[in-house]
Amino acid sequence: MAARTYLLNLLATLLFLVGKVVRFLLFFAFLFAVLSSNNTLAGYNREQVIFFFLVFNLVDIMVQFFFRGVYQFRPIFGWTDIFDFITLIPLWLLPLIYYFALFVF
């Protein structure tokens, strides 16, 4: 279902590919930054770490390409429901906690 959407819509295909390439390059740069100071990561050498990341990333991209959008859950009460408001309560409290931590105590 997702593959058909990506292949039929040129803009969606371009955005998907650009996003995946940027993600791949940024994580590759992160790996080189981490491995530049050390030659090993958790006992694996640089080539093994890069190979593991390459295989993992390719499998992840293929699975997302074919199965993204297959599992869509529809809200029970329309676009928002009571659970949305319940989960927003901590977001309302964070600025208050931050304010009291900085200015009151």
Which is more confidently placed, 12 or 76? 12
The predicted-structure confidence for 23-43, as pLDDT tens digits, reads as follows 888 888 888 888 888 888 888
Nearest partner of 61 among 1, 8, 16, judged by Cα: 16
- Residues 58, 94: one domain? no
- Residues 58, 12: one domain? yes
- Residues 55, 20: one domain? yes
- Residues 79, 37: one domain? no
Mean pLDDT score, 101-105: 76
The count of structural domains within the chain is 2
- Residues 22, 65: one domain? yes
What number of residues does the chain have?
Answer: 105
pLDDT-derived band at 72 (thresholds 50, 70, 90) equals low
The predicted-structure confidence for 1-25, as pLDDT tens digits, reads as follows 556 666 677 777 788 788 888 988 8
> Domain of 93?
75-105
- Residues 103, 84: one domain? yes
- Residues 101, 52: one domain? no
- Residues 32, 20: one domain? yes
Cβ neighbours of 80 (radius 10 Å): 10
Residue 36 and residue 19: Cα distance in Å, rounded?
25
